Amino acid sequence: MIYPIVKYGDSVLEKPSATVTVFDDELKKLIEDMFESMYAAHGVGLAAPQIGIAKRIAVIDCSFKEDPAAKMVIINPEIIKKEGRQTHSEGCLSLPDFRENVTRAMKCKIRAQDVNGKWFEADGEELLARAMQHETDHLNGKLFISHVSALKRDLIRRKIKKLQKTGQW
């Protein structure tokens, strides 16, 4: 099932999501649906609050279907180590058509649970590190625009308000 993507303005995107405690078939189905929804929206990462589900689950595929081994599910994730810096243009499915330069760690280590509840650690660098940090932020109720200057953020907010008024958001 393909879920519609929740856009900026919905409070679900700005609240910390709840810890996942049940690892059952329902969760596996939700994760399948999250990958499907992410691909349909042409994204390389998707967090559950972006489909209106306030649970600490995110999916990532920086290869966008090219490499099955690149598919990553992170449940209750935590960034446990950060190293270096990278600045790149970043976007988010919940803020379509807005991109800004965001500085993040170049490398990071994540600790998370898999679909069966098993804890694992994974290292990421460059785009994968960026995705890990971006998606973990989502689960803490934080959007990429919180990493840009207040001036730029206000400009984006104002543009979105205009779009909302004319029903284009």
DSSP 8-state assignment for residue 41: T
Residue 61 C-beta: closest distance to Ni ion, Å: 14
| Three-state secondary-structure class, residue 14 | helix
Residue nearest to Ni ion (CB): 92
Helices (H), the chain: 25-40, 127-139, 150-165
> In this complex, which beta carbon is closest to Ni ion, that of residue 27 or of residue 102?
102
- Please classify residue 167 by burial: count the beta carbons closer than 10 Å to its beta carbon, then call 0-12 exposed, 13-18 middle and 19+ buried: exposed
Say whether 135 is catalytic: yes
Options 92, 102, 110, 112; binder of Ni ion; rule CB under 5 A = 92
Size of the site for Ni ion (CB under 5 A): 1
Residues 6+ apart with CB under 8 A from 127: 44, 62
Residue 118 C-beta: closest distance to Ni ion, Å: 25
Residue 93 C-beta: closest distance to Ni ion, Å: 6
> In this complex, which beta carbon is closest to Ni ion, that of residue 30 or of residue 44?
44
Instruction: Please give the residue ranges that form the binding site for Ni ion (CB under 5 A).
Output: 92
Q: Which residues are catalytic?
A: 135
